[in-house]
Structure 1
Amino acid sequence: MTELDRTANVLGALAGTISDQAAAAMAGAAGLPARGSTAPLAALSAIAEFLDSPTVDQVGQVLGLSPSGAVRLVDRLAADGLVTRGPGPDGRTRAVTLTADGRAAAAAVTRARRDLLTRMLDGFAAADLAVLEPLLGRLMRNAVLAKAGGAWICRLCDLTACERSAGRCPALTAARERADRAADPPGGD
Protein backbone atom coordinates (compact mmCIF):
# COMPACT_ATOMS: atom_id res chain seq x y z
CA MET A 1 0.00 0.00 0.00
CA THR A 2 1.47 3.36 -1.02
CA GLU A 3 0.98 6.77 0.54
CA LEU A 4 -1.07 7.68 -2.55
CA ASP A 5 -3.35 4.66 -1.95
CA ARG A 6 -3.82 5.63 1.70
CA THR A 7 -4.52 9.27 0.90
CA ALA A 8 -6.93 8.34 -1.88
CA ASN A 9 -8.76 5.96 0.46
CA VAL A 10 -9.13 8.64 3.15
CA LEU A 11 -10.33 11.11 0.51
CA GLY A 12 -12.95 8.60 -0.67
CA ALA A 13 -14.18 7.93 2.86
CA LEU A 14 -14.34 11.66 3.57
CA ALA A 15 -16.20 12.36 0.32
CA GLY A 16 -18.79 9.69 1.07
CA THR A 17 -19.27 10.83 4.66
CA ILE A 18 -19.64 14.49 3.74
CA SER A 19 -22.01 13.58 0.92
CA ASP A 20 -24.21 11.50 3.22
CA GLN A 21 -24.24 14.13 5.96
CA ALA A 22 -24.90 16.96 3.52
CA ALA A 23 -27.79 15.09 1.88
CA ALA A 24 -29.41 14.45 5.27
CA ALA A 25 -28.92 18.05 6.43
CA MET A 26 -30.25 19.52 3.18
CA ALA A 27 -33.27 17.22 3.05
CA GLY A 28 -34.11 18.02 6.66
CA ALA A 29 -33.74 21.77 6.09
CA ALA A 30 -35.95 21.65 3.01
CA GLY A 31 -38.57 19.54 4.79
CA LEU A 32 -38.14 16.74 2.26
CA PRO A 33 -37.81 13.09 3.10
CA ALA A 34 -34.37 11.61 2.62
CA ARG A 35 -35.29 9.54 -0.45
CA GLY A 36 -31.80 8.28 -1.12
CA SER A 37 -31.35 10.75 -3.96
CA THR A 38 -30.18 14.34 -3.86
CA ALA A 39 -31.93 15.05 -7.18
CA PRO A 40 -34.85 16.98 -5.62
CA LEU A 41 -32.42 19.06 -3.56
CA ALA A 42 -30.16 19.65 -6.54
CA ALA A 43 -33.14 20.64 -8.69
CA LEU A 44 -34.26 23.24 -6.17
CA SER A 45 -30.74 24.58 -5.83
CA ALA A 46 -30.04 24.69 -9.57
CA ILE A 47 -33.34 26.40 -10.38
CA ALA A 48 -32.68 29.00 -7.66
CA GLU A 49 -29.00 29.54 -8.49
CA PHE A 50 -28.62 29.46 -12.26
CA LEU A 51 -31.53 27.97 -14.18
CA ASP A 52 -34.03 30.65 -15.11
CA SER A 53 -37.44 29.02 -15.63
CA PRO A 54 -35.87 25.92 -17.16
CA THR A 55 -37.70 23.34 -19.18
CA VAL A 56 -38.13 19.88 -17.69
CA ASP A 57 -35.47 18.67 -20.14
CA GLN A 58 -33.00 21.31 -18.93
CA VAL A 59 -33.56 20.26 -15.32
CA GLY A 60 -32.92 16.67 -16.37
CA GLN A 61 -29.71 17.59 -18.22
CA VAL A 62 -28.29 19.44 -15.21
CA LEU A 63 -29.11 16.53 -12.92
CA GLY A 64 -28.06 13.79 -15.33
CA LEU A 65 -31.57 12.32 -15.50
CA SER A 66 -33.37 10.62 -18.35
CA PRO A 67 -36.33 12.55 -19.79
CA SER A 68 -38.78 10.32 -17.94
CA GLY A 69 -36.75 10.68 -14.72
CA ALA A 70 -36.86 14.46 -15.07
CA VAL A 71 -40.64 14.39 -15.56
CA ARG A 72 -41.08 12.22 -12.46
CA LEU A 73 -38.85 14.52 -10.42
CA VAL A 74 -40.70 17.67 -11.50
CA ASP A 75 -44.02 15.91 -10.83
CA ARG A 76 -42.83 15.10 -7.30
CA LEU A 77 -41.63 18.66 -6.67
CA ALA A 78 -44.92 20.02 -8.01
CA ALA A 79 -46.90 17.63 -5.77
CA ASP A 80 -44.84 18.91 -2.82
CA GLY A 81 -45.80 22.48 -3.78
CA LEU A 82 -42.21 23.50 -4.53
CA VAL A 83 -42.45 24.16 -8.27
CA THR A 84 -45.07 25.01 -10.84
CA ARG A 85 -45.14 24.44 -14.56
CA GLY A 86 -46.02 27.16 -16.99
CA PRO A 87 -45.68 27.88 -20.68
CA GLY A 88 -42.20 27.19 -22.02
CA PRO A 89 -40.22 29.01 -24.67
CA ASP A 90 -42.17 27.19 -27.37
CA GLY A 91 -45.48 25.40 -27.60
CA ARG A 92 -43.96 21.99 -26.91
CA THR A 93 -42.22 22.65 -23.60
CA ARG A 94 -43.14 23.65 -20.07
CA ALA A 95 -41.12 26.00 -17.90
CA VAL A 96 -40.45 25.03 -14.29
CA THR A 97 -40.44 27.78 -11.68
CA LEU A 98 -40.05 27.74 -7.92
CA THR A 99 -43.04 28.59 -5.77
CA ALA A 100 -42.55 30.73 -2.66
CA ASP A 101 -42.20 27.48 -0.70
CA GLY A 102 -39.72 26.24 -3.30
CA ARG A 103 -37.61 29.40 -2.99
CA ALA A 104 -37.62 29.03 0.80
CA ALA A 105 -36.66 25.34 0.51
CA ALA A 106 -33.86 26.15 -1.96
CA ALA A 107 -32.48 28.80 0.42
CA ALA A 108 -32.70 26.30 3.29
CA VAL A 109 -30.81 23.72 1.20
CA THR A 110 -28.03 26.22 0.50
CA ARG A 111 -27.79 27.25 4.17
CA ALA A 112 -27.76 23.65 5.42
CA ARG A 113 -25.04 22.68 2.95
CA ARG A 114 -22.95 25.73 3.83
CA ASP A 115 -23.40 25.16 7.58
CA LEU A 116 -22.37 21.50 7.34
CA LEU A 117 -19.35 22.23 5.17
CA THR A 118 -18.14 25.10 7.34
CA ARG A 119 -18.47 22.85 10.40
CA MET A 120 -16.15 20.40 8.64
CA LEU A 121 -13.56 23.19 8.64
CA ASP A 122 -13.92 23.98 12.36
CA GLY A 123 -10.54 24.36 13.99
CA PHE A 124 -8.71 25.23 10.81
CA ALA A 125 -6.63 28.38 11.15
CA ALA A 126 -6.59 30.98 8.38
CA ALA A 127 -3.18 29.67 7.35
CA ASP A 128 -4.60 26.14 7.06
CA LEU A 129 -7.45 27.38 4.89
CA ALA A 130 -4.99 29.30 2.70
CA VAL A 131 -3.20 26.00 2.03
CA LEU A 132 -6.35 23.88 1.70
CA GLU A 133 -8.28 26.12 -0.73
CA PRO A 134 -5.88 25.80 -3.68
CA LEU A 135 -5.49 22.07 -3.01
CA LEU A 136 -9.27 21.65 -3.18
CA GLY A 137 -9.25 23.70 -6.37
CA ARG A 138 -6.75 21.28 -7.88
CA LEU A 139 -8.89 18.33 -6.81
CA MET A 140 -11.92 19.99 -8.40
CA ARG A 141 -9.95 20.62 -11.61
CA ASN A 142 -9.01 16.94 -11.79
CA ALA A 143 -12.61 15.91 -11.12
CA VAL A 144 -13.94 18.17 -13.87
CA LEU A 145 -11.32 17.10 -16.40
CA ALA A 146 -12.02 13.42 -15.68
CA LYS A 147 -15.81 13.74 -15.69
CA ALA A 148 -17.74 12.09 -18.50
CA GLY A 149 -21.46 12.85 -18.67
CA GLY A 150 -23.93 12.75 -15.84
CA ALA A 151 -25.02 15.51 -13.51
CA TRP A 152 -23.39 18.91 -13.46
CA ILE A 153 -20.82 19.33 -10.71
CA CYS A 154 -22.18 22.74 -9.66
CA ARG A 155 -25.79 21.62 -9.30
CA LEU A 156 -25.72 22.16 -5.49
CA CYS A 157 -23.24 25.03 -5.39
CA ASP A 158 -23.67 28.44 -3.87
CA LEU A 159 -22.39 30.37 -6.88
CA THR A 160 -21.86 33.49 -4.80
CA ALA A 161 -19.59 31.63 -2.36
CA CYS A 162 -17.36 30.23 -5.12
CA GLU A 163 -17.09 33.71 -6.65
CA ARG A 164 -18.10 32.33 -10.03
CA SER A 165 -18.91 35.76 -11.45
CA ALA A 166 -15.35 36.90 -10.60
CA GLY A 167 -13.90 33.87 -12.41
CA ARG A 168 -12.69 32.15 -9.21
CA CYS A 169 -14.82 29.00 -9.42
CA PRO A 170 -12.44 26.06 -9.86
CA ALA A 171 -15.10 23.95 -11.58
CA LEU A 172 -15.87 26.67 -14.14
CA THR A 173 -12.17 27.32 -14.73
CA ALA A 174 -11.56 23.62 -15.33
CA ALA A 175 -14.63 23.32 -17.55
CA ARG A 176 -13.31 26.16 -19.70
CA GLU A 177 -9.92 24.45 -19.85
CA ARG A 178 -11.62 21.24 -20.91
CA ALA A 179 -13.62 23.04 -23.60
CA ASP A 180 -10.48 24.77 -24.87
CA ARG A 181 -8.70 21.41 -25.09
CA ALA A 182 -11.60 19.91 -27.03
CA ALA A 183 -11.69 22.87 -29.42
CA ASP A 184 -7.94 22.72 -30.03
CA PRO A 185 -6.91 19.04 -30.13
CA PRO A 186 -3.17 18.31 -29.99
CA GLY A 187 -1.55 18.26 -33.40
CA GLY A 188 -4.54 19.88 -35.06
CA ASP A 189 -4.30 23.06 -37.09
Structure 2
Amino acid sequence: MVVLQHKHSLYLIDFNPKYPHDEQVYDDEEDLIIKQAFRCPCAHCEQEITYLHRYYYKSDQCDYSLHKICKTFPTKLQHVSHSAHSLALFRDESPGQCHMCKSTPRNMQLRYGCSGCMFSICLDCAIDDVQYHTIYHPSHQHPLIPFCKHKQVSAKCDACQKEHRGVFYECSTCFRFSAHNDCVFQPKRLLIQDGTRGQFLGL
Protein backbone atom coordinates (compact mmCIF):
# COMPACT_ATOMS: atom_id res chain seq x y z
CA MET A 1 0.00 0.00 0.00
CA VAL A 2 1.25 3.48 -0.88
CA VAL A 3 -0.25 6.18 1.37
CA LEU A 4 -0.98 9.51 -0.30
CA GLN A 5 0.61 12.71 0.96
CA HIS A 6 2.37 15.83 -0.28
CA LYS A 7 4.53 18.32 1.59
CA HIS A 8 3.98 21.48 -0.53
CA SER A 9 1.11 23.95 -0.40
CA LEU A 10 -1.55 23.64 -3.12
CA TYR A 11 -3.58 26.38 -4.77
CA LEU A 12 -6.83 26.14 -6.72
CA ILE A 13 -6.89 26.72 -10.50
CA ASP A 14 -10.17 27.67 -12.20
CA PHE A 15 -10.37 27.32 -16.00
CA ASN A 16 -13.27 29.77 -16.16
CA PRO A 17 -12.65 32.38 -13.42
CA LYS A 18 -14.85 35.05 -15.05
CA TYR A 19 -17.89 32.95 -14.10
CA PRO A 20 -17.44 31.94 -10.44
CA HIS A 21 -20.77 30.15 -9.94
CA ASP A 22 -19.98 27.06 -12.06
CA GLU A 23 -21.45 28.62 -15.21
CA GLN A 24 -19.88 27.33 -18.39
CA VAL A 25 -19.73 30.41 -20.59
CA TYR A 26 -16.82 30.93 -22.98
CA ASP A 27 -16.66 34.40 -24.50
CA ASP A 28 -13.58 33.69 -26.59
CA GLU A 29 -13.44 30.72 -28.98
CA GLU A 30 -9.63 30.87 -29.17
CA ASP A 31 -9.41 30.74 -25.37
CA LEU A 32 -11.63 27.63 -25.40
CA ILE A 33 -9.37 25.91 -27.94
CA ILE A 34 -6.34 26.56 -25.72
CA LYS A 35 -8.10 25.21 -22.64
CA GLN A 36 -9.25 22.09 -24.50
CA ALA A 37 -5.60 21.23 -25.14
CA PHE A 38 -4.73 21.17 -21.42
CA ARG A 39 -3.76 17.78 -19.95
CA CYS A 40 -1.93 16.80 -16.78
CA PRO A 41 -2.02 13.72 -14.52
CA CYS A 42 -3.70 13.70 -11.12
CA ALA A 43 -1.24 12.56 -8.45
CA HIS A 44 -4.00 10.71 -6.55
CA CYS A 45 -6.12 8.84 -9.08
CA GLU A 46 -3.54 9.00 -11.92
CA GLN A 47 -6.29 9.95 -14.40
CA GLU A 48 -6.00 13.01 -16.61
CA ILE A 49 -7.03 16.43 -15.40
CA THR A 50 -8.67 18.33 -18.27
CA TYR A 51 -10.66 21.53 -18.74
CA LEU A 52 -13.83 19.40 -18.35
CA HIS A 53 -13.07 19.13 -14.63
CA ARG A 54 -12.95 22.96 -14.51
CA TYR A 55 -11.02 23.11 -11.21
CA TYR A 56 -7.82 21.47 -10.02
CA TYR A 57 -5.16 21.95 -7.36
CA LYS A 58 -1.53 22.60 -8.21
CA SER A 59 1.57 22.68 -6.03
CA ASP A 60 3.29 26.03 -5.62
CA GLN A 61 6.73 24.39 -5.78
CA CYS A 62 6.58 21.37 -8.11
CA ASP A 63 4.52 19.61 -10.82
CA TYR A 64 2.16 17.93 -8.32
CA SER A 65 -1.52 18.38 -9.33
CA LEU A 66 -4.85 16.99 -8.12
CA HIS A 67 -8.44 16.96 -9.30
CA LYS A 68 -10.42 19.21 -6.98
CA ILE A 69 -12.55 16.30 -5.82
CA CYS A 70 -9.51 14.04 -5.25
CA LYS A 71 -8.12 16.54 -2.76
CA THR A 72 -11.30 16.29 -0.67
CA PHE A 73 -11.26 12.49 -0.23
CA PRO A 74 -10.89 11.65 3.48
CA THR A 75 -7.75 9.70 4.38
CA LYS A 76 -9.78 7.43 6.70
CA LEU A 77 -13.29 6.15 6.05
CA GLN A 78 -15.87 4.10 7.99
CA HIS A 79 -17.80 2.01 5.48
CA VAL A 80 -20.65 -0.51 5.79
CA SER A 81 -18.79 -2.97 3.55
CA HIS A 82 -16.12 -3.44 6.26
CA SER A 83 -17.51 -2.30 9.58
CA ALA A 84 -14.85 -4.06 11.69
CA HIS A 85 -12.10 -1.55 10.79
CA SER A 86 -11.74 1.85 9.19
CA LEU A 87 -10.50 1.96 5.60
CA ALA A 88 -7.48 4.03 4.53
CA LEU A 89 -7.11 5.87 1.23
CA PHE A 90 -4.15 4.46 -0.68
CA ARG A 91 -2.78 3.76 -4.13
CA ASP A 92 -2.30 0.09 -4.96
CA GLU A 93 0.53 -0.67 -7.37
CA SER A 94 -1.11 -3.97 -8.43
CA PRO A 95 -4.85 -3.27 -8.58
CA GLY A 96 -7.43 -6.01 -8.82
CA GLN A 97 -11.15 -6.44 -8.28
CA CYS A 98 -13.13 -4.27 -5.89
CA HIS A 99 -14.32 -6.52 -3.05
CA MET A 100 -17.72 -4.84 -3.05
CA CYS A 101 -18.85 -4.47 -6.68
CA LYS A 102 -16.40 -7.07 -8.12
CA SER A 103 -15.44 -4.74 -10.99
CA THR A 104 -12.04 -3.39 -11.95
CA PRO A 105 -12.62 0.33 -12.67
CA ARG A 106 -10.10 2.26 -14.74
CA ASN A 107 -9.12 4.25 -11.63
CA MET A 108 -8.84 1.16 -9.43
CA GLN A 109 -5.31 2.12 -8.36
CA LEU A 110 -6.76 4.70 -5.96
CA ARG A 111 -8.97 2.95 -3.43
CA TYR A 112 -9.86 2.48 0.21
CA GLY A 113 -8.56 -0.57 2.01
CA CYS A 114 -7.78 -2.42 5.21
CA SER A 115 -4.23 -3.78 5.04
CA GLY A 116 -4.76 -6.23 7.92
CA CYS A 117 -7.73 -7.88 6.23
CA MET A 118 -6.44 -7.56 2.64
CA PHE A 119 -9.74 -5.86 1.83
CA SER A 120 -10.21 -2.93 -0.57
CA ILE A 121 -12.99 -1.17 -2.46
CA CYS A 122 -13.03 1.21 -5.43
CA LEU A 123 -13.84 4.91 -5.20
CA ASP A 124 -17.26 4.42 -6.82
CA CYS A 125 -18.28 2.15 -3.95
CA ALA A 126 -16.51 4.16 -1.23
CA ILE A 127 -17.53 7.72 -2.15
CA ASP A 128 -21.24 8.37 -2.52
CA ASP A 129 -20.77 11.83 -4.01
CA VAL A 130 -21.95 13.06 -7.43
CA GLN A 131 -19.13 15.64 -7.37
CA TYR A 132 -16.72 12.76 -8.02
CA HIS A 133 -18.25 12.35 -11.50
CA THR A 134 -19.25 15.97 -12.26
CA ILE A 135 -17.85 17.61 -15.39
CA TYR A 136 -18.12 21.15 -16.75
CA HIS A 137 -18.66 21.17 -20.50
CA PRO A 138 -18.99 24.13 -22.91
CA SER A 139 -22.03 22.46 -24.47
CA HIS A 140 -24.15 23.55 -21.51
CA GLN A 141 -24.09 26.36 -18.97
CA HIS A 142 -24.50 24.11 -15.92
CA PRO A 143 -22.42 21.19 -14.55
CA LEU A 144 -23.16 17.72 -15.98
CA ILE A 145 -23.41 14.47 -14.02
CA PRO A 146 -23.70 10.87 -15.32
CA PHE A 147 -26.96 9.02 -14.94
CA CYS A 148 -27.46 5.25 -15.16
CA LYS A 149 -23.67 4.97 -15.13
CA HIS A 150 -23.85 1.26 -14.26
CA LYS A 151 -26.22 0.32 -17.08
CA GLN A 152 -26.72 1.10 -20.75
CA VAL A 153 -29.66 3.29 -21.83
CA SER A 154 -30.89 4.36 -25.28
CA ALA A 155 -31.71 8.04 -25.81
CA LYS A 156 -31.20 11.02 -28.09
CA CYS A 157 -28.00 12.96 -27.47
CA ASP A 158 -28.54 16.74 -27.29
CA ALA A 159 -24.94 17.33 -28.39
CA CYS A 160 -25.02 15.52 -31.75
CA GLN A 161 -28.82 15.07 -32.14
CA LYS A 162 -28.41 11.31 -32.77
CA GLU A 163 -29.67 8.21 -30.94
CA HIS A 164 -27.06 6.54 -28.74
CA ARG A 165 -26.88 3.63 -26.34
CA GLY A 166 -24.66 3.85 -23.30
CA VAL A 167 -23.92 6.24 -20.44
CA PHE A 168 -25.30 9.78 -20.64
CA TYR A 169 -24.42 12.99 -18.79
CA GLU A 170 -27.30 15.24 -17.79
CA CYS A 171 -27.61 18.77 -16.45
CA SER A 172 -27.46 18.89 -12.67
CA THR A 173 -29.56 22.06 -12.56
CA CYS A 174 -32.27 22.11 -15.24
CA PHE A 175 -32.34 18.40 -16.28
CA ARG A 176 -33.25 19.40 -19.84
CA PHE A 177 -29.92 18.57 -21.44
CA SER A 178 -28.19 15.21 -21.81
CA ALA A 179 -25.17 14.18 -23.84
CA HIS A 180 -23.79 10.73 -24.62
CA ASN A 181 -20.48 9.76 -23.03
CA ASP A 182 -18.73 9.53 -26.43
CA CYS A 183 -19.78 13.06 -27.39
CA VAL A 184 -18.90 14.55 -24.02
CA PHE A 185 -15.34 13.24 -24.12
CA GLN A 186 -14.76 13.63 -27.84
CA PRO A 187 -11.51 15.62 -28.17
CA LYS A 188 -11.44 19.01 -29.87
CA ARG A 189 -15.12 19.80 -30.00
CA LEU A 190 -16.20 23.42 -30.09
CA LEU A 191 -19.43 25.01 -28.94
CA ILE A 192 -21.07 27.21 -31.56
CA GLN A 193 -23.84 29.37 -30.08
CA ASP A 194 -26.96 29.75 -32.24
CA GLY A 195 -29.04 31.83 -29.83
CA THR A 196 -31.17 29.13 -28.20
CA ARG A 197 -28.87 26.16 -27.82
CA GLY A 198 -25.30 25.11 -28.54
CA GLN A 199 -24.19 22.97 -31.44
CA PHE A 200 -21.01 20.96 -31.67
CA LEU A 201 -18.56 21.43 -34.50
CA GLY A 202 -16.02 18.62 -34.85
CA LEU A 203 -12.50 19.65 -35.82
More helix by share: 1
Specify which structure has the bigger relative contact order, considering alpha-carbon pairs within 8 angstroms and separated by 6 or more residues: 1
* TM > 0.5 fold call: no
| Bigger share in strand | 2
